Structure 1
């Protein structure tokens, strides 16, 4: 039997349901950008190399951003 959760139960018991798209939207976008970056690295030289470096640096930049942000909350 399911018990309904109310705001009186406290903030830890409140449930927020997300769709699959809400959960996986950002990781799929980062993966797509990385795949494009890998493809650009294979295409040629010059501007393509710069674009591939930019695309492949996205996960590193995001990790540094969220690591720094998590450190400020403490």
Structure 2
């Protein structure tokens, strides 16, 4: 147990750093005005993002039964 005592200083520094960073990040988050947020949302919704609504070719449905079946061999 005594051999693990060398971990205490690094653990304390890590925890203190995590608390400090969490405290600093809390103050950095500003509130966005509701009207500004609505304008940003409207501007983003008006943009043409280049996504087409046409689906690609349809693939046949795989009717797997869960059993491995080898293809039949043709007799030559």
* Larger RCO, structures 1/2 (Cα 8 Å, 6+ apart): 1
TM-score if structure 1 supplies the norm length? 0.31
Please identify which structure carries the higher helix content.
1
Instruction: Give the structure with higher Rg (CA).
Output: 2
